[in-house]
Amino acid sequence: MPGGIKIYHLKEIYKNMLNVKNQFPFFTNNPGITYMDSAATTQKPRIVLDKLVDFYTTHNANAGRSSYPIANQLTNEVEEVREKVGKFINASKKEEIIFTSGATDGFNKIAYTLGIHYLKDGDEVLYCPQDHKSFVLPWFKVQRLVENMGVAIRLVPFRVNKMGSIDRDDLFSKVTDKTKIINATHIHNIYGADSDINKIRDWLGDKDVIINVDAAQSVGHRLVDVQQLGADILSFSGHKMFAIQGVGATFITKKLHQFMEPIFVGGSNGVKLHDSEVEVTNFSQAYESGTQNYAGILTLGKAIEFIEQLGIENIYIHLSELTQYLLQKLRQLPKIEFVYGPNFWSCADGAGILSFKVGGLSASEAGFMLAENGILVRTGDHCISSRDEFTNTIRISMHVYNTTDDIDFLIKILKTICK
């Protein structure tokens, strides 16, 4: 595990987490707010905000383009963050990490690159309609694009089970000799379920299938090890793990680099033009054409430092405890209707995410009532494209700054709403 993590006794973990909230200026400036929408975006600790201000007030430059000391220092710092990200998710080489503007940017770049440079006529791509739209929709755009180029890609859907994780039996039944890519969400953004992606890789064995992972809700919540998962590609957003908005990273295993010529190119040291041929000279830099969000990249490094100081295993235990405590309290209320997720699990686990409905009220009505009492949650379809009885829900999503006191207050207000 990264950062020499210590695993504390549960009570000590909880005591430590009680003090964490003081490191987030948002809560000092908004004392009446109970924030329970971290799956949408996390609040930012002081260490991240200080780095943002420091960059723009004392070290603002453009990396890799100038020879003066400040620019050179920034170039080195960016590469240090790249290495830090790689170690954080256990990539083999830092060159396997590309910086993006977020998970959505990574998903699109991967879909277009593979669709144009890797997939062939008749190939199949597996996806789940209940995954986040940013993970699903790019493939439909790519399918239409390459169809105009005379290449037919088949998109094959698979289901989630009652627990909210991938229905592996259904997934495995869809794999054929034509299957080239499986798109798999690690932690579901509505159901909070871990899909045990490593078991997909184990089942595939030596089949030549790319596993493309959405890790937006898992990185920063629990240990993410791309090698243990068996992920070939993995993307996440910085703003869901305490960095600022507008930055993220995508891991692409070295063995795929020969098939992954970037679609978007421009000013960078990673590509050169020889006569009429574009040559990729540095894989990660080739994917980062143009001026990057350097401030965001630096805050991503600080966010990882913050997580490592707390200990990723301690965060995981804390979130599991909160998830189970919330579930226990919600089960005592009338009119609560659970969707897929922790209510159907046989284990005491959790990523701080739990979704439900309040009978007799729309999710937006219940969410408005909660907001009137300073409780901020997400309501609606949560960016999935499928439409069924599990859409239009209330989603509670917590992180290190949440406590059982937050849950008790939420339950107090829900009791009033349920009446």
Tell me, what CATH number does 383's domain have?
Answer: 3.90.1150.10
321 and 283, same structural domain?
no
What residues act catalytically? 383
Kindly state whether residue 271 falls inside one of the protein's structural domains: yes
Domain of residue 62 covers: 51-306
CA distances from 324 to 15, 330, 350 (A): 18, 10, 7
The pLDDT of residue 51 is 98
Residues 232 and 373 in one domain: no
| Same domain, yes or no: 292 and 352 | no
Residues 93, 123, single domain; the answer is yes
Report how far Cα 262 is from the mean position of its chain's Cα atoms.
Answer: 22
What pLDDT score was predicted for residue 64?
74
Give the integer Cα–Cα distance in Å for 140 and 36: 32
Residue 2 lies in a domain: no
159 with 193, same domain: the answer is yes
Among 269, 287, 306, the domain-final residue is 306
Residue 121 falls within a domain, yes or no? yes
User: Pick from 259, 275, 306: which residue ends a domain?
Assistant: 306
Query: Checking DSSP bridges between strand 154-157 and strand 210-214, what pairing results, if any?
Result: unpaired
Q: Are residues 287 and 391 in the same domain?
A: no
Residue 220 within a domain: yes
CA angle 344, 346, 351 (to 5 degrees): 75
CATH number at residue 62: 3.40.640.10
Q: Identify the pLDDT of residue 128.
A: 95
Residue 189 lies in a domain: yes
Q: Are residues 229 and 277 in the same domain?
A: yes
Cβ neighbours of residue 296 closer than 8 Å, sequence gap 6 or more? 238, 243, 244, 245, 246, 247
Number of structural domains in the chain: 2
In a domain, 60, yes or no: yes
Rounded Cα distance between 192 and 178, Å, is: 31
What pLDDT is recorded for position 389?
56
Same domain, 281 and 412: no
Q: Are residues 203 and 324 in the same domain?
A: no
Query: Mean pLDDT of successive 10-residue segments in the chain (419 residues)?
Result: 41 68 95 96 98 95 83 94 98 95 96 95 96 94 94 96 93 97 96 94 93 97 96 98 98 92 70 67 77 95 96 94 96 92 88 92 89 92 57 90 96 90
Q: Which residues contact 12 (CB under 8 A, 6 or more apart)?
A: none
Nearest-Å Rg of the Cα atoms of the chain is: 22
Type and span of the H or E element at 327: helix 312-330
pLDDT for residue 279: 67
